[in-house]
Amino acid sequence: MANRHLSRSIVLQSLFEWDFNGTHASPVMEIFARNAEEFAPGMGDFSFMETLLKGVIEKQKDLDLVIEKAAPDWPIDKISVIDRNILRIGLYELLFADRGQVPPKVAINEAIELSKTFGGETSSKFVNGVLGAVYKELGEPGKDETSKDRKDKNITPANIPVEYLAGAVVYAKEGEDVYLALVHDVFGRWTLSKGHIEGKDPEKEVAKVISDEIKLPVEVKEKLGTNEYVTYHPEKGKIKKNVTYYLVEAPFVEIKLKESGGLDDAKWFKMGDILDLNFYNDILPLITKAINVLLKK
């Protein structure tokens, strides 16, 4: 276990030098070979380090998109070099590593330890917040194995700032068929279009939100429900997001997805085909309710 921690430290140092000097200035594997020889001369087997380093480099663009999604309004180039490479390592292990070898909690804890050793004063809180947000989006895999007796840590103080959003299950009719418009995010999940609103009356603003994100004019039919969850912003700290969802109707026309760091696709699906898709746990009940409403129409 200690060797794994040392291995991650060497990978981090190699990524830091590669990133700090410009990713095209020096071959990253040459930097790694030098660091491994200097800091772990007696280790012998470098396969774990090589696999981790090559994996982070291969998935860098995907990892950076996830970081920007989990840390909204925080461009990747504004995050310190050390923090963003700690996040890349932690996210790679969280999203792509063999969970039998690196359980999710281990991936997060190891990244936090790296941030305490190599990062700044607030690095560990930032890394914990970003990785924790991604872990929650994934449905907290492995939670029951590692923390069966823990108290609910999702209970948050009443004074956490609240951001209000509106979202929708968008449907359209084409002949006898009913279609639903879904968006796909960088976590690999199909989900519902949503966006920030200026006030606390989401019904008045949801049409604008949907039009902005997927370029569809919509008519609000009824409210489906409200979800709340806590995320972490590197400057603001913990933020509670309150999202109210509606069932809305749109014409069956081409979807044009707004460019976004968090979304990479949007499609129409026949209503009968969508329950086999990969959804978040808190989104599936809203979609199920919408389908039940539509079946009664």
Digit-coded pLDDT (tens) for 278-294: 887 788 899 999 999 99
Cα-based angle 241, 124, 89 (whole degrees, multiple of 5): 95
149 pLDDT band, cuts 50/70/90, is very low
* CATH number, domain 162-296, options 3.90.79.10, 2.40.128.20, 3.40.50.11030, 3.20.20.70: 3.90.79.10
As a whole number, mean pLDDT of residues 34-58 equals 86
As a whole number, mean pLDDT of residues 93-112 equals 89
Token pair 């996830």 is found at: 66
Alpha carbon separation from 64 to 3, 84, 106, 278 (Å, rounded): 27, 8, 21, 22
As a whole number, mean pLDDT of residues 239-267 equals 89
Q: 194 versus 136: which is more confidently predicted?
A: 194
| CATH 1.10.940.10 domain range(s) in the chain | 2-146
Q: What is the pLDDT of residues 189-209, one digit of tens each?
A: 799 999 999 877 899 999 999
pLDDT at 23: 65
| CATH 3.90.79.10 domain range(s) in the chain | 162-296
Highest-confidence segment of 25-34, 150-159, 208-217, 222-231: 208-217
Q: What is the pTM of this model?
A: 0.57
Q: Does domain 2-146 sit in CATH 1.10.940.10?
A: yes
pLDDT at 73: 64
Alpha carbon separation from 97 to 15, 108, 188 (Å, rounded): 18, 12, 15
pLDDT at 157: 53
Residues near 2 by beta carbon (within 8 Å), at least 6 away in sequence = none
3 pLDDT band, cuts 50/70/90, is confident
Q: At what angle do helices 123-137 and 60-70 cross, to 10 degrees?
A: 100
Give the closest residue to 91 by CA, choosing from 112, 72, 74, 116: 112
Q: How many CA atoms lie within 13 A of 201 on its CB side?
A: 1
As a whole number, mean pLDDT of residues 121-143 equals 81
